[in-house]
């Protein structure tokens, strides 16, 4: 069965957070409870004036071998046939094991409900033939989404400074080529 993934080009990301806003709107994620399924992370390096900033829009990477799923004591996390990793909030007891083991900070505790929530890859949109909300609005196309088969061979599997647990096989690739090569 076909699965999906992300392609991200950090040099195109303008740190506008449209991806995060779109995610909130489509998924009706509550505000003010410390839950941001998608977030734009920013990393500075170097010293003034030779400074560099890398921004990455990060959500769940729907890993093929998801640690979050492995460690969940009540089996509240499962991976669908199409590779989308979901949390069953009814089962979740909010123990936070998945938060510790996911290197991307994807599972987050909703402070109001004390349950874990995270990116669903907008499976409900995908089922209607639409792309996930975040990738639909990203103004520069820095964040792209598509069939994993097509993305997997592309770009690089890691960015400097980003966690890369080889065994987990996160479904994300990065365009690391400069503007002109």
Partner 1 sequence: MITRRSVLQGAGGAAVLGTLPWNEAFAEFFERSQAIPYPPESLVTACGICDSACGMRVTVKDGTIRFIQGLPEDPHNEGRLCAKGTSSAYIRNDPDRLKYPMKRTNPRKGLEEDPRWVRISWNEALDLIAEKYTEIRSKYGQEALLAISRGRPPWFARLYSALGMERVDHNDLCYGVDIVISNQTIGRHTFAWDLENAKYIVLFGWDMVARAKLSLSNRLLHAKENGARVINFNPMYTATAKFADEWHPVRPGGDLAVALAMIHVLLKENLYDRDFVSQYTNFPEYETQIREHFEKYTPEWAEKESDIPADVIRRIARQFGSTRPAVAPLHKKTLAANYENAAPLCHAIAILNILAGNIDRPGGHYFPRTFEIPGLDAIYRPPAYPKLPAKRVDGREKLPLAGGYGMFSTLADGMLNRYPGRVKFLFWNNYNLSSLPQRRMMEEALKTVEFMVLVDILPMDAMYFADVVLPSTMFLEGSDIIVREMAAKSPFAVVRQPVVGAPFEAKSAAYIAIELGKRLAPDYFRKADGSWISPSELLDEQVRRSGLGQNFADFRKKGFVAGEKPFIPATKFATASGKCQIYIPAFAAKNYDPLPNWRPKRDLPSADYPYYLITYLPAAHKRNSTQNNPVLFEIDGTPYVHIHPSTAARHGIRDGARVRVRSRAGEAVGVARLTETIRPDAVAVPHGLGHRSPWLSVAGGKGFCDNDLIPAQTIDELVQHGNWLGSGCIMDAVVAIEPAV
Instruction: Return residues touching partner 1 (CB under 8 A).
Output: 7, 9, 11-12, 14-18, 20-22, 24-26, 31-32, 36, 44, 46-49, 51, 53, 55, 128-131, 133, 135-141, 144-147, 149-151, 153-155, 175, 177-181
Least distance (Å) between residue 53 CB and ligand SF4: 12
CB distance 13 to 55 below 8 Å: yes
Tell me, what DSSP letter sits at residue 136? H
Exactly one of 60, 84, 92, 151 binds ligand SF4 (CB under 6 A); that residue is 60
Contact status: 109 vs ligand SF4 (CB under 6 A)? no
Dist CA 49 CA 132 (whole Å): 38
What phi and psi, each to the nearest 5 degrees, are found at residue 63? -60, 145
Dist CA 68 CA 47 (whole Å): 36
Least distance (Å) between residue 91 CB and partner 1: 27
A 10 A CB-CB count for 20 gives 19
Exactly one of 63, 72, 86, 162 binds ligand SF4 (CB under 6 A); that residue is 63
């Amino acid at each position: 069965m076909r699965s999906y993934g992300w392609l991200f080009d950090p040099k195109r990301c303008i740190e506008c957070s449209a991806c995060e806003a779109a995610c909130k709107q489509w998924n009706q994620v509550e505000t003010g409870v410390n839950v941001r399924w998608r977030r734009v992370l920013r990393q500075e390096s170097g010293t003034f004036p030779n400074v560099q900033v890398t921004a990455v829009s990060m959500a769940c990477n729907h890993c093929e071998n998801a640690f979050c799923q492995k460690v969940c004591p009540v089996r509240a996390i499962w991976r669908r046939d199409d590779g989308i990793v979901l949390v069953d909030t009814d089962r979740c007891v909010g123990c936070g094991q998945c938060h510790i083991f996911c290197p991307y900070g994807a599972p987050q505790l909703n402070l109001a409900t004390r349950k874990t929530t995270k990116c669903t890859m907008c499976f409900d949109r995908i089922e209607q033939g639409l792309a996930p909300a975040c990738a639909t609005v990203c103004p520069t196309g820095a964040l792209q989404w598509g069939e994993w088969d097509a993305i997997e061979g592309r770009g690089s599997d890691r960015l400097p400074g980003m966690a890369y647990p080889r065994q987990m096989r996160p479904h994300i690739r990065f365009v690391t080529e400069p503007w002109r090569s």
